[in-house]
Structure formats: structure tokens, C-alpha cells
Amino acid sequence: MGTLIQSQYSRIMALDTSGSWVEGDDLRIIECLMLPFGTYTLDCTQNCCNQLQAMSDAAVLRVRALLDEYDAADAAESTQNLGDTEGKVLVKADVLEWEVTGNGVAGTTQEKANVRAEIARYFAFCSCLGSVLPGTGGYAGHSGLIRS
């Protein structure tokens, strides 16, 4: 029985780092896309990464550059949030008050959303992630149709 349980949880797929992917890129994608973490999601993401590598090395390099942009925006957002001033500007010269201007969305938050959407488009072919990718039904409420 112990063998059955052990084989049930054995790893099926691994990220192929012989190309342009680097160890840990699979986790960065899961975090960027805000996917629920688990064995299925990890295996699926690694499989999709390997398929993307087989399709286009340039696409992999672009996704990796987008992940770097996401990490930079995330770090900037964390720094910005330390002051609890996100989306606010100082107004009034005699008494300083914080007032929200515009839509209150910081540039870093918008940058992260843009990167998340672009990475999701690179993985739109991946059927096992289809229902949880942003903009494909999991988050935005609509689904994309891709025919091969």
C-alpha cells in the first residue's frame, strides 16, 4: 500500500532547463499568474513550459524577460506600500492630507497586471491551465477559443 501512495505522488514532469528556462521559472510563472499551487499545477506548468520551449526559444526568452519585469514591479510595489501612500498625492499647503487621485491604481500594480496578461497569452495554448489563466474564464469571466 505504501508503494501505491508513494507512486501516486511521484513527479511526472520536470522543467527542462537544457534550453532557455532556468530552475525556478516554473514557480515564478505560477506566482505571477496567481495560480493555485499544487502538484497538478506544478506538473502542468512545467509541461507547458517545455512545450513552449519546443515551439519557440524566442518566446521563452520573452517570458523570462516579462518575469523579470514582474519581479521588478513587485519589488517596487512592496517598497511603495511601505509608506502606505499608494495612489495618493499630497494636497493643501496649510494642512497636509492624503487624497486619492485618478483611479487610485499605482503604476506598479498596472505594470504587474499587464505582465500577467501578456504571460497568460503565451500560455493560452496550454489546455491544463485554460480555466485558471487570467482572462480565460478563471478570473475575467470569459473564455478564449483556440483551434489547432
Looking at per-residue pLDDT, the higher value among 45 and 93 belongs to 45
Closest among 10, 52, 33 to 21, alpha carbons compared:
52
Please indicate, yes or no, if residue 56 is contained in any of the structural domains: yes
Q: What is the pLDDT of residue 142?
A: 43
Domain boundaries, position 53: 2-129
Looking at per-residue pLDDT, the higher value among 76 and 98 belongs to 76
Please indicate, yes or no, if residue 140 is contained in any of the structural domains: no
Q: How many domains does the chain have?
A: 1
- Cell reading at 143: 473564455
Task: Please list, residue by residue across 43-81, b when 16 or more beta carbons sit within 10 angstroms of its beta carbon and e when fewer do.
Answer: bbbbbbbbebbeeeeeebebbbebbebbeebbebbeebe
Please indicate, yes or no, if residue 134 is contained in any of the structural domains: no
Q: What is the pLDDT of residue 139?
A: 43
Q: What is the pLDDT of residue 131?
A: 74
Please indicate, yes or no, if residue 136 is contained in any of the structural domains: no
Please indicate, yes or no, if residue 84 is contained in any of the structural domains: yes
Q: What is the pLDDT of residue 148?
A: 46
3-state secondary structure of 90: strand
Please indicate, yes or no, if residue 29 is contained in any of the structural domains: yes
Predicted TM-score (pTM) of the model is 0.70
Span 2-19, average pLDDT: 65
